[in-house]
Amino acid sequence: MLLIEVIANNGAVGWGECYGPAEVTQSAVTSFYATRLLGLDPIQTDKAWSKCWQSSLDYARRGIMMGAISGLDMALWDLKGKLLNTPLAELMGGRFRDKLPCYATGMYYKEMPEQKLIDALVKEAKAYNAKGFKAMKIKVGKNLAFDKKLITEMRKALPKAQLMADSNHAYDLPEAVEIGQVLDENKFDWFEEPLSPEFPSLYKQLSEKINIPLATGECEQTRWGFQQLLDAGGVQIAQPDLAYCGGPSEAIKIRTIASSLGVKVIPHVWGTMLNMAAAAHFLGSTFCEPGRAEPTSPILEYDCTPNPLREDIFEKPLKVVKGIITVPVDPGLGVCPDRKVMNSFCIQKTETDKG
Ligand code: MG
């Protein structure tokens, strides 16, 4: 992971995180964007974002450099929050809720015979459920026979749980229809990345053939990318990653576009506590449509695979208690790396300053 620290003249600091290959994003930050941001007012996050965007528009409309902008933008939002003594949820428009139910992401494949693997994955999901997670997301996309068996055995083992499935774009259209039907029969809540992000028009075709809601967007970036993706139709849940989609600044714009099309936004979260906190503030400040007397709460993705960069390097990591996370109330992101512990994981550090 690449973590970014932005330091203001008065010594206040903001932290951000980039999703993507760390050394490459690091180079994009140090060799390109950082010098362009020096001297700007850190309160002016949209201005900083636009400067980055405009200065690299010809070759960085999507991809790794947008990942770098995302981390810088997140760090600036954290810094802005600290300078204004305000948590991000308030800066993003206002807190609608303090608690967020989380769904456990995990159930990754391991090298073992297929039936043993299914048993192990079911056991893992049951363990998260026993810890208090009411929702779990499994991986599908190994092979069709295995996937179907896993889906049905998972539902049999967890008859009341909210279950979702993520194929990480593993299927073509006929295969996605086949698996989508099995997911629907087993009452899964959404089918994530059934198809390649390169074929937005296939999502509409798929949605017309199956009943389960389709989710996608973790590979997509910027308001323009999501506009194209969602305009094509078929997607019910958009999943921007705040450490990759263009940062909190862009996630808010994506949320507005999605809202105008009646699409829900549930961020993709994978990485450290910085991205987790950013997503928690984002969901804490998301109005859930349709409004009603007893609105549902959006759910936050919580990757349950052991990761010291998520759990160990932060002073006050967000804790999941009985499947629930509290939206931070401290200024900015509300989580901060513990420098000493973080340094023990540091592979390469670079610094840019006015000198
Ligand atoms: Mg995914």
- For 278-331, the three-class secondary structure string (H helix, E strand, C coil) is HHHHHHHCCCCCCCCCCCCCCCEEEECCCCHHHHCCECCCCCCECCEEECCCCC
Query: 212 with 190: CB under 8 angstroms?
Result: yes
Tokens (6 digits) for 126 = 């049951």
Report d(CA 221, CA 62) in Å as an integer.
6
Coil, strand or helix at 214: strand
Instruction: Tell me how far the alpha carbon of residue 218 lies from the centroid of ligand 1, in angstroms.
Output: 6
Contacts of 238 (CB under 8 A, 6+ apart): 215, 216, 217, 220, 226, 229, 230, 254, 258, 263, 264, 265, 266
Instruction: Tell me how far the alpha carbon of residue 166 lies from the centroid of ligand 1, in angstroms.
Output: 6
Instruction: Tell me how far the alpha carbon of residue 297 lies from the centroid of ligand 1, in angstroms.
Output: 20
Report d(CA 66, CA 107) in Å as an integer.
29
Instruction: Tell me how far the alpha carbon of residue 268 lies from the centroid of ligand 1, in angstroms.
Output: 7
Query: 16 with 73: CB under 8 angstroms?
Result: yes
| DSSP category for residue 87 | B
Report d(CA 168, CA 337) in Å as an integer.
30
What phi, psi does 116 have (nearest 5°)? -65, -40
Task: Please give the average per-residue pLDDT across 171-200, as a whole number.
Answer: 97
Q: Does 355 have pLDDT greater than 60? A: no
Closest Cα partner for 179 from 140, 124, 135?
140
Q: What is the pLDDT of residue 274?
A: 98
Instruction: Tell me how far the alpha carbon of residue 259 lies from the centroid of ligand 1, in angstroms.
Output: 21
Q: Does 351 have pLDDT greater than 90? A: yes
Q: Cite the active site residues.
A: 268
Q: Does 354 have pLDDT greater than 90? A: no
Mean pLDDT of the chain: 96
Q: Does 87 have pLDDT greater than 60? A: yes
pLDDT for 21-52, tens place per residue?
A: 999 999 999 999 999 999 999 999 999 999 99
Q: Does 120 have pLDDT greater than 90? A: yes
Q: What is the pLDDT of residue 206?
A: 98
Contacts of 339 (CB under 8 A, 6+ apart): none
Instruction: Tell me how far the alpha carbon of residue 163 lies from the centroid of ligand 1, in angstroms.
Output: 14
Residue ranges near ligand 1 (ion) with Cβ within 5 Å: 166, 192
First to last CA, the chain: 27
- What is the sign, positive or negative, of the torsion defined by CA atoms of 113, 133, 161, 293? negative
Please report, to the nearest 10 degrees, the dihedral formed by the alpha carbons of residues 268, 270, 271, 277 taken in order.
50
pTM higher than 0.85, yes or no? yes
Report d(CA 107, CA 312) in Å as an integer.
22
pLDDT for 286-325, tens place per residue?
A: 998 888 888 888 999 999 999 999 989 999 999 999 999 9
Instruction: Tell me how far the alpha carbon of residue 112 lies from the centroid of ligand 1, in angstroms.
Output: 23
Instruction: Tell me how far the alpha carbon of residue 37 lies from the centroid of ligand 1, in angstroms.
Output: 32
Instruction: Tell me how far the alpha carbon of residue 168 lies from the centroid of ligand 1, in angstroms.
Output: 6
| DSSP category for residue 271 | S
Q: Provide the residue count of the chain.
A: 355
Report d(CA 106, CA 141) in Å as an integer.
14
Instruction: Tell me how far the alpha carbon of residue 355 lies from the centroid of ligand 1, in angstroms.
Output: 42
Q: Does 235 have pLDDT greater than 90? A: yes
Report d(CA 295, CA 287) in Å as an integer.
10
What phi, psi does 15 have (nearest 5°)? -120, 145
